[in-house]
Amino acid sequence: MLSSPLGRITISSDAIAHIVGETARECYGIVGMAARGPVGKLLAKRERLTQGIEITRDDGDGVTIDLHVVVEYGLNLAEVASTVRNRVSYEVGRLTGLPVRAVEVHIDDVRRTG
Amino acid sequence: MTLNGDLAALQKVVAAGLAALEASRRRIDDLNVYPVPDGDTGTNLTMTVRALAEAVEETSAASRRSLARDVARGALMGARGNSGVILSQIVRGAADVLGEATAPAIEAAETARALRGAADAAYRAVRRPVEGTMLSVIRELAEEAEARAASRPPLGELLVELVRRGEAAVARTPEQLQVLRDAGVVDAGGAGLLELVRGVAAGVTGEPLPEAPPADEHLAVDAIHQELSRYRYCTVFVIEGEGLDGDALEAKLDGLGDSLLVVGDDRALKVHVHTDDPGAALSLGTLAGTIDRIEIANMHEQTHRREERLLAAVPDTAAARAATGVVAVVAGDGNRSLFERLAANIGPVRVVEGGQTMNPSTADLLAAVQALDAEEAVILPNNSNVLLAAEHAAANADRPVEVVAADSIPGGLAAMVAFDGARSAAENAAEMREAMRGVVTGEVTTASRDVQLNGLAIRAGEWLGLAEGQPVAGGGSFDEVATAVIERLLAEPRELLTLLVGDDPPPLDALLERVAAAHPEIDVDVQHGGQPHYQLLLSAE
């Protein structure tokens, strides 16, 4: 929650997850988001945009983001993960103004496309 | 196929490409505003090509194919940053083609095929390719090479044309990508790729490396506005006066914002700060001297359109009335929240509390259907005891209603996966029934009275396990009974086992260990369901 002279602003975890999903899809090397069980699939229904994304908030409004991703075979996984982390942290911080405490990138699978 | 002169030729062009990139490294760093404005694209590309150069110096490859493999591996291992990863994929795509080339020397035709392989490989590794980046530049290079290869130009001539096309492609990147246009820069990764090609061309033709664009090329002042900042106004001004103290001013300005820069001498200072209160910064300036050339830019405005695009992806809670909503009969706080959390994502959902022992009435279901903000409805009874009431409610509702005869909560959740509020009830019902067919469900409960089961007597209070509605095991051990149910559910190949744990759950550790040992290939997802009577609801898909 952010406070301003005119009132409080709340940003839902769902909104954050959508920003993360939109950003992750543009990240180079990411060819998919990993489904996290049937419940994860359920909650990711809308264009599967938030699939593989978990948002946790702490009392001070800090955001921790867990991403489960599938990376193209043959790429440097550490570099891809670090780019995703930077990019997601940057976009969420910039668009929501909330402090991003951590972005944990889990590479659940590696896939050879095409 | 042996190496012939390939290795020496490759070492020469990689060294030339590296030299060209090194010469432009700083300028490319300064161009970097996308995807994250951290000013390291030139450095990352240079480090990546350095690793590549080391790999071609150290290789002991004895054939073209193994040389190609070493090159691809060198780029992969040395890739640094986003641009480095893309470059490594470009190198790999090209190396894959060249490693298989049978021509005695690499000429225009092989180069065109290699660039096509590079472009295809580069695009393959991203879900949503962004135009106006390295990706569009490598694609245009491939197109140019393909168009020219038919007339079999000498390789050097082709490369000179590729540099020309690359320059045009890089110059066009601001038209393709808003964030570049806002910052008044070309794409850093694309510019780096162009320098690399420029160097390679020089290496092949034997020409001296052409002059790189000057490093201090004027950058639009907007470029700095892309720096990471929480603050709204980029504020720049000049202070003129006598005996100005830059350090003291810097200390005073420090609390106002970030990206603070105070440069100059005791007669003129230039101040740059990102702040929400430009007035306060200007006041501090006027205390020190005379202020001049004030520029205040609203950075939020500049990135506004891109933000709008990103935020457009956020579901609009005030969306138009949905075509179809769902009424689900659910017991347990955890299960309830699983169904309800869906409402925000996929369409209106109303949960009616109920289940095995507390059956909602036709009137309860009818009221829930009519309270849905949707033209049509699907009812998920999630229990065979509720099916009849659901059908009555459907027959008496004020709108078209379909009943999808889920007879368990896991079955209902499986059906929900196929639900889409934008489709009609009939279309949804068909999809949801299909989705349920892919799932088998089970339950573990306690027998409410003495029963006979396959010749086995189960006493009231003992565990009872059911699979697909049929009793399959009973007895005093929860683990034994639950294992029997799970074995039945996993009789056919499955990928995923979901456990919805009831409001009075027994310890699950031993059971989960058992499942993991017997079925290492199965993913197990344990969720708090909170339902009464059923200590476990299970599904496998």
A17-61 per-position pLDDT tens digit: 889 988 988 889 888 887 655 555 555 544 456 778 889 988 777
Q: B440-540 has which CATH code?
A: 3.30.1180
Q: So what's the pLDDT on residue B483?
A: 94
Q: Do the beta carbons of residue B76 and residue B92 sit within 8 Å?
A: yes
Q: Do B496 and A79 touch (CB under 8 A)?
A: no
Q: Do A39 and B525 touch (CB under 8 A)?
A: yes
- Selected residue with higher pLDDT from B253 and B346: B253
Q: So what's the pLDDT on residue B228?
A: 46
Length of chain A: 114
Question: Interior CA angle at B134 toward B129 and B137, to 5°?
Answer: 100
pLDDT exceeds 90 at position B385: no
Q: What CA–CA distance (Å, rounded) separates B97 from B306?
A: 38
Nearest to A22 by CA among B175, B419, B308: B308
Go through the domains of chain A in sequence order and give each one's CATH number: 2-111 (3.30.70.1350)
Partners of residue B128 in chain A, C-beta under 8 Å: 25-26
Q: Do the beta carbons of residue B219 and residue B172 sit within 8 Å?
A: no
Q: So what's the pLDDT on residue B222?
A: 42
Q: B367: Cβ–Cβ under 8 A, 6 or more apart, which residues?
A: none
Q: Do B314 and A25 touch (CB under 8 A)?
A: no
Q: What CA–CA distance (Å, rounded) separates B502 from B476?
A: 18
Q: What CA–CA distance (Å, rounded) separates B178 from B184?
A: 10
Poorest-pLDDT segment among B104-118, B157-171, B436-450 = B436-450
Which percentage of chain B shows pLDDT scores above 70? 88
pLDDT exceeds 60 at position B204: yes
Q: What is the mean pLDDT of residues A2-19?
A: 76
- Selected residue with higher pLDDT from B356 and B400: B400
Peptide bond into B35 cis (omega under 30): yes
Nearest to A67 by CA among A53, A77, A81: A53
Q: Please check whether the two domains, B6-205 and B229-304, share a CATH topology.
A: no
Give the pairing type, strands B440-446 and B470-475: unpaired
B215-266 per-position pLDDT tens digit: 444 443 344 444 445 677 778 788 888 888 888 888 888 888 876 777 767 7
pLDDT exceeds 70 at position B319: no
Residue of B33, B36, B346 to mutate, testing the A interface (most A Cβ within 10 Å of its Cβ): B36
B97-156 per-position pLDDT tens digit: 999 998 888 899 999 999 999 999 999 888 778 899 999 999 999 999 999 999 999 999
Q: So what's the pLDDT on residue A34?
A: 77
Instruction: Work out the number of other CB atoms within 10 angstroms of the CB of residue B244.
Output: 18
Burial of B22 by CB count in 10 Å (0-12 exposed, 13-18 middle, 19+ buried)? middle
Enumerate the β-bridge partners of residue A72: A111
Reading the block at residue B276, the tokens are 């929400």
Reading the block at residue B452, the tokens are 């006979």
Q: So what's the pLDDT on residue B227?
A: 41
pLDDT exceeds 70 at position B327: yes
Q: So what's the pLDDT on residue B125?
A: 86
Which of B80, B124, B496 lies nearest to residue A114, judging by beta carbons? B124
Which of A19, A26, A97 lies nearest to residue B130, judging by beta carbons? A26
Return the SS3 of B14. helix
Q: What CA–CA distance (Å, rounded) separates A36 from A54?
A: 10
pLDDT tier for residue B318 given thresholds of 50, 70 and 90: very low
Q: Do B498 and A28 touch (CB under 8 A)?
A: no
Residue in this structure with the two tokens 């169904």, named with its chain if needed: B339
Q: B229-304 has which CATH code?
A: 3.30.70
pTM: 0.54
Q: What CA–CA distance (Å, rounded) separates A94 from A88?
A: 10
- Map out the domains of chain B as residue ranges: 6-205, 229-304, 322-437, 440-540
Q: How far is CA B409 from CA B414, B443, B471, in A?
A: 9, 10, 18
Reading the block at residue B454, the tokens are 């396959």
The answer to whether domain B322-437 has CATH 1.10.760.10 is no
Q: What CA–CA distance (Å, rounded) separates A96 from A99?
A: 9
Which of B36, B124, B498 lies nearest to residue A72, judging by beta carbons? B124
pLDDT tier for residue B301 given thresholds of 50, 70 and 90: low
**Which class in CATH covers the domain with range B6-205?**
mainly alpha
Complex ipTM over 0.85: no
| Identity of residue B64 | R
Q: How far is CA B140 from CA B87, B131, B145, B169, B356, in A?
A: 15, 11, 9, 7, 64
User: Running DSSP on this structure, what letter comes out for residue B303?
Assistant: T
Reading the block at residue B356, the tokens are 């095995």
Burial of B403 by CB count in 10 Å (0-12 exposed, 13-18 middle, 19+ buried)? buried
**Å between B438 CA and nearest CA of chain A:** 12
Q: What CA–CA distance (Å, rounded) separates B388 from B361?
A: 10
Which of A15, A79, A94 lies nearest to residue B80, judging by beta carbons? A79
Q: So what's the pLDDT on residue B4?
A: 63
